[in-house]
Amino acid sequence: MDALKLREDFPILFQTVNDEPLVYLDNAATTQKPKQVLDVLKHYYELDNANVHRGVHTLAERATADYEAAREKVRHFINAKENAEVLFTRGTTTGLNWVARGLGEKIVKKGDRIVISQMEHHSNIVPWQELAHKVGAELVYIDLTVEGELDLVDAKKKITSHTKIVSIAHASNVMGVINPIEQLSALAHEVGAVMVVDGAQSAPHMALDVQALDADFYAFSGHKMCGPTGIGVLYGKRQWLEVMDPVEFGGEMIDFVYHDHSTWAELPYKFEAGTPNIAGGIALGAAIDYLEAIGMDEIHAYEQALVEYVLPKLLAIDGVTVYGPSDPEKHTGVIAFNIDGLHPHDLATALDMEGVAVRAGHHCAQPLLKYLAVQSTARASFYFYNTKEDADRLIEAIHATKEFFGHGFI
């Protein structure tokens, strides 16, 4: 994979920040968009802008065809059985909320158990907290190993016959750890529970097969995989989507509206109320085309090689603590770390002065950071358009920052 050549597709990377060439290492928050995706957005608004599923005029038919073609691209990308199992959403958060409200409120009762883990993003915590409070269920957290991996022994103890929903991130947005979803699905299904997966940090980085994972639901976002913001996907097995209720109501999602009640449209439209993010859906299809042309296995292997290259250099810096697995094969391109005596926000600000963009804070994972006994961390997250030179710039900038702050002690 020629990362240097691929970088040419991303105009935003060729700029200076604080008089330094930009090194963008905040890909876990959002990824940059290639020209191929930007061109599709421009083409839609300039030539095909019309509402979908409604008009019979030429523009409406073109827009509808492209929008539904994007749904088919998603289906193929994740290996869903049929397009009816692919729902377009605003993003991962929306998808998880739809499941918690539309299905959770139907199947979870007082005294039942909802199982998540200590490493979840707030989007995979708060909806389940709200559901538990509403129905009187118990929210239970699977613990982690010393390495920061999911503790499967603890998972087996906590996924009991009282469990109705298990919801776990496929990959952590803080530690980069990749979770064994197939094994967790098996544990959930043994007790009749529904398996929900937060795929925000996995869909952009590895080949997906929701049937092999045996996930009942799988949610992810377009903007983290070279697509635009405001578009995402919720995959659901047909058997559960038929049971699940929509949580938004209005146009498009109805079959017929009577004076006193309404009936819902067939899948997937049952859940997609109102005018959708048409341009976003079409552009997400273009992003999938782009990623598949590179190869998801190639992207994953390349990111692991970057982690293998940069992690020892990071750990060799005096006073550095890295959170998560040390084995690159268990890692996405996400690395969370702290430096003794430096607040992560000071570190991130100083790195920005060197042109290096990283994230600092709790990363929407406050329970995890409490579990790790830290207030916040810095986070560098790599993608396929990053290079070993970017990794070296990160290391050099950290050394410069430590020098500026008196070798890491203030």
pLDDT in tens, 318-362: 999 999 988 888 889 999 999 999 999 999 999 999 999 999 999
Which of the listed residues 293, 318, 341 is the one where a domain comes to its end?
293
Q: What stretches of 52-109 show up as alpha helix (H) in DSSP?
A: 58-78, 92-99, 105-107
Please state the φ and ψ torsions of residue 359, each to the nearest 5 degrees: -105, 150
Q: What's CA 404's distance to the chain center, in Å?
A: 35
State the 10-residue block means of pLDDT for the chain, 410 residues long.
96 97 98 98 98 94 98 98 98 98 98 98 98 98 95 98 98 97 98 98 98 98 98 98 97 94 96 97 98 98 96 94 87 94 96 98 96 96 98 97 71
**Catalytic option among 191, 254, 364, 374:** 364
Q: Cα–Cα distance between 404 and 401 in angstroms, integer?
A: 5
Residues 354 and 230 reside in one and the same domain = no
Which of the listed residues 257, 275, 293 is the one where a domain comes to its end?
293
Report angle CA 112, 364, 123 to the nearest 5 degrees. 40
Query: What pLDDT does 410 receive?
Result: 43
Residues 225 and 257 reside in one and the same domain = yes
Q: Cα–Cα distance between 287 and 165 in angstroms, integer?
A: 31
Q: What's CA 129's distance to the chain center, in Å?
A: 20
Residues 239 and 348 reside in one and the same domain = no
Look at residues 318, 303, 390 and name the one whose alpha carbon lies nearest to residue 354. 390
**Is residue 237 within 8 Å of 95, Cβ to Cβ?**
no
Residues 318 and 169 reside in one and the same domain = no
- Residue 303's domain comprises 3-32+295-404
Query: What pLDDT does 407 receive?
Result: 52
Total domain count, the chain: 2
- Assign residue 42 the CATH number of its domain: 3.40.640.10
What tokens were used for 204?
């952009």
Q: Cα–Cα distance between 52 and 39 in angstroms, integer?
A: 20
Query: What pLDDT does 59 receive?
Result: 97
Tallying the residues shown for the chain, one arrives at 410
Active site residue 364: yes
- Computed over every residue of the chain, the mean pLDDT equals 96
Residues 58 and 157 reside in one and the same domain = yes
Strand 359-361 vs strand 377-381: parallel, antiparallel, or unpaired? antiparallel
Residues 172 and 320 reside in one and the same domain = no
Ranges assigned E (strand) in 260-333: 262-264, 320-323
- 70 lies in some domain: yes
CB neighbourhood size of 242 (10 A): 11
Which of the listed residues 270, 293, 316 is the one where a domain comes to its end?
293
- For the four alpha carbons of 35, 41, 47 and 52, in that order, the dihedral sign comes to positive
Q: Cα–Cα distance between 191 and 395 in angstroms, integer?
A: 47
Strand 217-221 vs strand 20-21: parallel, antiparallel, or unpaired? unpaired
Look at residues 410, 407, 397, 409 and name the one whose alpha carbon lies nearest to residue 352. 397
Query: What pLDDT does 330 receive?
Result: 83
